[in-house]
Chain A
């Protein structure tokens, strides 16, 4: 197909750029950590909460939120759960492979400015830690700008825990309060047992004035929101990461639509009070 000069000069939102797979590590039976580096001549700038479309030629694309903080320069990190065609193919990539990515996408990011000076609480269910981690580490790298920082994490079973050393480091720092629970424990586990909502009453920071960020499996949202409602947290202070099927990442294909919102452009992080007009959201 011959392409005219005008078209050749257009910016193509569907065209992936290449980055290099620098590191990979299986973190648990289903979650793969990967680190991607890019050429400094073409920097990759993003805000915590934004996602990329990861391409595997011949298989397709999958939206994955950046898990590292933009304060980490020269590379970015993803954590990919193996669940279908593309994600399994991502697990099979080798160190040194060129990987296509599009993005970063999403104007609904973590409110890095609005959160300054505020107490901040992250409520994470399982893999929901992955996107939240970007903002947690961003705060830790700009620690003086933010108030008390609390992260609570619920994981289904011991085998699915990940980021062991990083979480261990968090639990030993005194500028972040980290609490963890597992749904089902064995005898070796000395920590909390139960679903993530059981940790909410243990949060020491004043919840009502804090900004609260929730990310986890769909079922978790209802229970957490109920608990936050009881704690009288205003809906303006609650933010949710929403997930929907995606294809374009650019507000065109219609797949990610929730009533009048598009997760790919209006999200993926939404302020709960904005969702009151979107009954399909939760």
Chain B
């Protein structure tokens, strides 16, 4: 697959031309911060962003989506969103999260609604230029990414290096008029960016190897940290909502005003929310805040990893740290506390 060099002015033309032919989603400024949105012009694209408010998962698993529609007394029919789009600016840690969601939505039973969107997306990932204030991707091994994207961009000063990793990516880059072949020096510059990020996206240092986490958690179930941290949790679920790897959802029916037609929708849900495990009759299985708080960090560090070949389901984006008002959601703080008290075996 090819590696091209696009001078920054050439890159702008390339994106503007792209916008004319296909739906393009890209990272843009939103006040002082950044978020993904429909791109109207290449000048709005901000590949120097630190972190987006929301992770890109919403383009594959929207906050609310219709799964099936029905007519009361008649049948049900599947609904899909299968519009093609290009998603530009996905940071490596978020790309790792998408790769994990791909596996989780494929496993056991293929979720065709997720893949309708996923298969219609062309993902242009980009290496981090400015670290955010709480990123810890270096600790999690997600500061760079080697697969999942169609194209990977790296800012090397006056140009972007663009590596195509798939046929989709190759086709996309073929549209970049004026692109040059990357030379050895360019590749060295890219390697320097990678080396820098692999060490430097680390505002919080995990005190063990990331692969130690499942075993560490295997010994930490009754540790006091769960109660201690959860004491000030408001069950707001923000840590779930902003997380690129959280994917729990609720399913609800919405019947139309005619009381005949309706739709069955899924909407994001969160394991920290009170009621997540509540059944008819009132019994709630994870009733205590500490149980729910622990469940989230076990999903990130043990349960999901055990389903996806050992990869840890916290990618170190730091969003939950920003989102948590009582400042208890930081996974590194909890895991480090366990390392300090229990040691790594």
Contacts and interface: CB of A to CB of B under 8 A. Distances in A.
Interface of A: 1-4, 6-8, 10-16, 18, 55, 57-61, 83-84, 87, 97-98, 100, 218, 243-245, 247-248, 250-255, 257-260, 265, 279-280
A4 to B, nearest CB: 4
A209 to B, nearest CB: 33
B269 A14 contact: no
Contacts, number: 143
A254 B67 CA distance: 17
Contact of A250 (B109, B264, B269): B109
A58 B259 CA distance: 8
B59 interface: no
Contacts of B255: 57-58
A11 B50 CA distance: 39
Given A3-B80, A253-B248, A14 B67 contact: yes
B147 interface: no
Contacts of B73: 57, 97-98
B306 interface: yes
B74 A1 contact: no
Contacts of B109: 13, 250-252, 265
Nearest to A248: B251
A259 B146 CA distance: 31
A265 B109 CA distance: 10
Nearest to A5: B82
Given A247-B249, A253-B251, A280-B291, 4 more contacts: A12-B68, A14-B264, A58-B255, A251-B109
B285 A252 contact: no
A14 B249 CA distance: 13
> What is the interface residue range for chain B against chain A?
35 or more
- For the complex of A and B, 4 pairs with smallest distance between CB atoms: A254-B248, A84-B280, A10-B112, A58-B255
Contacts of A4: 80, 82
B112 A254 contact: no
A97 B73 CA distance: 7
A1 B79 contact: yes
Contacts of B303: 257, 259-260
B104 A252 contact: yes
Interface in B232-279: 247-253, 255, 259, 262, 264, 266, 269, 271, 276-279
B116 interface: yes
A12 B302 CA distance: 29
A83 to B, nearest CB: 4
B105 A252 contact: yes
Given A245-B277, A252-B105, A255-B248, A15 B76 contact: yes
Interface string B67-79: 1101111111111
27 contacts: A1-B81, A10-B115, A11-B112, A12-B68, A12-B112, A13-B109, A14-B78, A57-B70, A57-B262, A58-B72, A60-B251, A60-B253, A60-B264, A98-B75, A100-B70, A243-B279, A244-B277, A244-B285, A247-B266, A252-B111, A252-B247, A253-B250, A254-B248, A255-B269, A255-B276, A265-B108, A279-B221
